[in-house]
Each structure stands twice: as structure tokens, then as C-alpha cells.
Amino acid sequence: MCEQRPLATVLGSELDLRLFNYRDTTPLRSGEVDDEPYGGGPGLVLRVDVVAAALDAVYGGVPDHRVVALTPQGRQLTQPVVDELAAEERLTLLSSRSEGFDERIVSHLASDAISIGPYVLSGGELPALVLLDALARRLPGAIRAESGSFESFSGDLEGGLEYPQYTRPPEFRGWGVPEVLVSGDHRRIEAWRREQSRARSLR
């Protein structure tokens, strides 16, 4: 993923990415990072002292910048949330596995809790990559300027969905493309696209 656009384009310039493993800084001699939940129940819970030790090792304590815990219980990730986070100079993302975080991590060490959608994945690695990709696209030079405008959820489309797109061939298995798109009439094309975007967004 890091070798493909948009990440490849901004890595090392607009984006400095550092990865840390809780196991490298865990204060537990056994090298463990999680433990059984108080009150019983299945699975393991990521320990608060382990995450605090990781933040101490990297930043010398809880950093001044935003620390985002990735959890299905967090605020839903939307394009406005991506834009808000992309405006930050620095961000720390916290992932977990199994039964998730000791609640004290979310309440005292993290500033934000973000969910990438109302479903449960096995670990925070994919949510972190999803957020990273969405953030990288908002950085200068990540994508061609015009690609970022008039796309789904952008202000150019009033936060709505993108209009349908077509490319060659003009006909395939009897499936054609809307006549307006090959008319060369840019005013009609723009009006058609806006109308299509609005209609899709109302569905």
C-alpha cells in the first residue's frame, strides 16, 4: 500500500510515517500487552500501562497532539472528520486487537475515538490503514488537484455522491453511454453531472 498512490507520493515529504509495536516498549517482563478482562468474559484487553509506556517511549508522555484510538465505539469516520484530522500537523493512531482497549486508554490517553464503520473487524490495523489512506489523499500533491474536487462528499458536490463516470468503449454488449457525455457540450455535461449527483445523493 505504501508503494502506491497516494501514500507513495507523500511519504517522506508531506507525510512522515512511523510505526511502533507495543511489544517493543511493554513494561511487562513477559512481553505481553493485554490481559483478561475484569469481571470475566472472553478475549483479552489491551493494557493501559502498556499504551502509556509506548507513549512515554516515543513522546516522553501523552503528546500535545491528537491521539486517535481506533474503535468501533468511536465517532464515525466521514469525509468532514477526515478533513478535520488531515488539518492536524501530527497525529498518533492507536490500534488494538481481541476485545479492544482498557477504557482508561480511551478516556485518559487518547483525545479521539474513531470508528471506520458500524461493523467489527478483528484488529485496528486495517482501520488505521483506512484512515491513513483517507488522510494522505488530503495532503498537498497526493493526488492531482482536480481529482480531489468534484468527488463524492466534496464541497464541489455539496457533500453528495459523485455522478456516474464512463470511459471507452462507447458501447459494450449493447450497453451505451449517456449521449450528453459524448456531445462535447460542456455546459450540458456539467448540468447533467450535477443533476445525477443530486439524484444519487437523495437515494
Ligand X SMILES: C[S@@+](CC[C@H](N)C(=O)[O-])C[C@H]1O[C@@H](n2cnc3c(N)ncnc32)[C@H](O)[C@@H]1O
Q: Which residues lie near ligand X (CB under 6 A)?
A: 70-73, 95-97, 99-101, 115-117, 119-124, 127
In angstroms, give the least distance from the CB of 96 to ligand X. Answer: 4
In angstroms, give the least distance from the CB of 101 to ligand X. Answer: 6
In angstroms, give the least distance from the CB of 13 to ligand X. Answer: 28
The closest residue (CB) to ligand X is 124
In angstroms, give the least distance from the CB of 103 to ligand X. Answer: 11
Which residue's CB is nearer to ligand X, number 70 or number 142?
Answer: 70
In angstroms, give the least distance from the CB of 37 to ligand X. Answer: 9
Which residue's CB is nearer to ligand X, number 26 or number 95?
Answer: 95
Using CA atoms, how far residue 86 sits from 69, 96, 138, in Å, is: 16, 22, 6
Which residue's CB is nearer to ligand X, number 99 or number 151?
Answer: 99
Which residue's CB is nearer to ligand X, number 34 or number 138?
Answer: 34
Which residue's CB is nearer to ligand X, number 97 or number 200?
Answer: 97
